[in-house]
């Protein structure tokens, strides 16, 4: 399969004179140039040159129902016709809160914002207020947006990260405040003994422990139930607020998110991605006791001009209506199970050390003989094999990410025929990986 990218190349030549790197998010940068897209439908994205890709990025996992979902788009069109946009509350925000809490039964109150980064910032501020403490603990490899307070030790250089019993907190970007980075306690994901020891040592200064219950921004690595239970117990013991970042797991691995799957309930949780099926909306949810403190005059300020934007709320309400009973996620999960089985059969036949982990719509591949349980085991997998694999997938017309510490996703629009095609594409990719590595 041969694609031409002449129009994307020309768009890049123009864009890079206007926009740094020619893109508005650094993860979209590619060598020799980014690809610029014009439209999408279902599980396919079409670029400026007319090349048609099977999309397994799906808006970083946000577009769970597929591109151009009829019900979501109809709701959006209706919302644009009523004239309301932002700056006021509407009946739709009430309906969305009711729908949200009817699905996420572990949460008692919810407030909507625009991005996951904002939701996390609100959660951490609330935790500091209620505890009177200022330090935050977070898991190594766990991503919580790009704000200074949490963009720490997400993809750290292991030569600088220190041992698991004394992990060094490292900034995610130049320009972050050094005092915030140094005050952050970094925990070894899925390591009960060392995590609990670190929390116990610093408990009197810790306001919150925050983590993704499944590390998805570095691939797909679930926390064990016993690890989350241990965190819940030590947080209860010391009055520390436990926060789950469910931006990627919420409404995806199950309607109620990872809490439903793993059976551990945090004090606060953040949501987004599938919440809007590609439209920008996020949420902070939690207990009535904590969330009520964000009311005017009671505690931390919770404001935002675009909070509850009518178009995004309409999209979210339509999306959650489709996702509420779990049948959509169940179908996606079955197709992902079939896809993973096909991948592992091909890897075994070809004789290459490779695994594919996933649940709901999310998945990722690791080229290793080890069981991947944390950031460190993921970061030491075979990057050469991964590069050859994803390059083959891309050349076969599949939209993928070149970074081994990234993640991919299916959607409701990836039907059985697409899954069968992906199994064949993955098999060819594994052959390319095997040809470029020693296993």
Q: Which residues are catalytic?
A: 143, 245, 273
- In this structure, the dihedral spanned by the alpha carbons of residues 60, 64, 65 and 68, taken in order and rounded to 10 degrees, is -10
* DSSP letter assigned to residue 203: G
C-alpha distances in angstroms, 136 versus 50, 60, 182, 234, 356?
A: 47, 26, 10, 14, 32
Residue ranges of E strands in 272-370: 282-286, 355-359, 362-366
Query: How far apart are alpha carbons 85 and 82 in whole angstroms?
Result: 9
> Are the C-beta atoms of residues 186 and 139 closer than 8 Å to each other?
yes
For residue 316, report the phi and psi dihedrals to the nearest 5 degrees: -65, -45
For residue 138, report the phi and psi dihedrals to the nearest 5 degrees: -140, 160
Query: How far apart are alpha carbons 328 and 252 in whole angstroms?
Result: 9
Q: Which helix (H) or strand (E) holds 179?
A: helix 178-183
Task: Give the CB-side neighbour count of residue 298, counting CA atoms within 13 A.
Answer: 11
């Amino acid at each position: 399969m041969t694609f031409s990218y002449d129009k994307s190349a020309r768009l890049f030549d123009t864009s890079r004179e206007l926009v740094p790197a020619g893109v508005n998010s650094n993860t979209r940068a590619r060598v020799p140039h980014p690809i610029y897209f014009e439209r999408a439908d279902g599980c396919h994205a079409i670029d400026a040159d007319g090349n048609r890709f099977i999309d397994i990025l799906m808006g970083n996992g946000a577009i769970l129902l597929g591109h151009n979902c009829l019900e979501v788009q109809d709701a959006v069109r209706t919302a644009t016709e009523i004239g309301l946009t932002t700056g006021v509350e509407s009946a739709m925000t009430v309906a969305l809160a009711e729908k949200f809490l009817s699905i996420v039964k572990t949460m008692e109150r919810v407030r909507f914002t625009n991005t996951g980064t904002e939701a996390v910032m609100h959660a951490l501020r609330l935790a500091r207020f209620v505890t009177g403490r200022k330090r935050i603990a977070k898991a190594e490899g766990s991503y919580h947006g790009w704000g200074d307070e949490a963009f720490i030790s997400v993809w750290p250089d292991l030569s600088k990260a220190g041992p698991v019993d004394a992990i060094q907190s490292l900034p995610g970007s130049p320009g972050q405040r050094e005092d915030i980075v140094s005050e952050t306690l970094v925990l070894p994901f899925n390591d009960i003994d060392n995590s609990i020891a670190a929390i116990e040592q610093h408990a009197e200064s810790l306001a919150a422990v925050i983590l993704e219950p499944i590390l998805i921004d570095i691939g797909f690595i679930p926390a064990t139930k016993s690890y989350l239970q241990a965190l819940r117990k030590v947080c209860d013991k010391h009055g520390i607020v436990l926060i789950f970042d469910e931006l990627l797991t919420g409404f995806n691995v199950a309607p109620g998110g990872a809490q439903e799957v793993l059976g551990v309930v945090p004090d606060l949780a953040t949501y987004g991605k599938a919440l809007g099926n590609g439209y920008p909306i996020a949420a902070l949810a939690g207990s009535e006791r904590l969330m009520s403190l964000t009311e005017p005059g009671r505690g931390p300020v919770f404001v935002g001009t675009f909070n509850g934007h009518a178009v995004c709320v309409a999209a979210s309400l339509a999306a959650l209506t489709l996702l509420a009973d779990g049948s959509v996620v169940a179908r996606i999960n079955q197709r992902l199970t079939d896809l993973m089985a096909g991948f592992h059969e091909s890897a075994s036949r070809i004789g290459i050390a490779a695994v594919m982990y996933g649940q709901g719509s999310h998945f990722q591949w690791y080229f290793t003989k080890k069981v991947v349980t944390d950031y460190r085991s993921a970061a030491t997998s075979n990057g050469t094999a991964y590069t050859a694999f994803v390059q083959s997938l891309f050349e076969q017309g599949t939209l993928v990410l070149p970074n081994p510490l990234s993640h991919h996703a299916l959607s409701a629009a990836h039907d059985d025929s697409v899954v069968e095609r992906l199994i064949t594409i993955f098999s060819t990719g594994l052959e390319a990986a095997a040809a470029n590595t020693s296993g």
